[in-house]
Amino acid sequence: RSCADSEERLMNWLLGKERYNPLIRPAVNRSERVTVTIQVSLAQLISVNEREQIMTTNVWLTQHWVDYRLSWDPARYEGIDKLRIPSRHIWLPDIVLYNNADGTYEVTVFTNAIVLFNGSVNWLPPAIYKSACKIEVKHFPFDQQNCTLKFRSWTYDHTEIDLILKSEVASMDDFTPSGEWDILALP
């Protein structure tokens, strides 16, 4: 058997219709909350529109959770301990930008999720967000604006999903600077 054969066999077993339904929240029982950890990474401040009070950003929203249904024994599959699964095939937390300004609440690019043999899922979808932002230009060009991105689940409440920020500060590890605006702080 080749590694590709083992990966195909594993993928077919994990995502088989009788075994896995991506519409079902991965909780062992109804009262259990699924813990979703998110890390916001600011990749680019694309624009700040003072007149329309809109900030446009390129954000990577790393999301991590455990889906017990996506666990396997690597010894049964040629030692495969990690898969890249198209995210449309698995349960995803419906984390959205609540203070969006253009009606696009959700991620629009559905990248692969990285799934480890223990059911640990990491999903890093990039998104362009337009967020409502109160902008005052009294001291132009020395203004400082405070724009907040508010994320939460669209349909699950706190009894179903425990949404945790990995860090109180957004990451700027992959940030591309803008010529017009400087980021002073990311609280």
Determine, yes or no, domain membership for 76.
yes
CATH label of the domain that carries residue 80:
2.70.170.10
For the stretch 43-92, pLDDT in tens is 888 888 778 888 888 888 899 999 999 999 999 999 999 999 999 999 99
User: Which ranges in the chain belong to alpha helices (H)?
Assistant: 3-14
Range of the domain at 158: 3-165
d(Cα 96, Cα 130) in Å, to the nearest integer? 12
Token pair for 25? 């929240």
Determine, yes or no, domain membership for 100.
yes
Determine, yes or no, domain membership for 176.
no
Is a pLDDT exceeding 70 seen at residue 117? yes
Instruction: Annotate 137-161 with b (16+ C-beta within 10 A) or e (fewer).
Output: eeeeeeeeeebebebebeebeeebb
Determine, yes or no, domain membership for 178.
no
Strands (DSSP E) along 3-53, which ranges? 34-49
- Counted domains in the chain: 1
Determine, yes or no, domain membership for 85.
yes
For the stretch 145-154, pLDDT in tens is 677 788 889 8
Token pair for 109? 């690019």
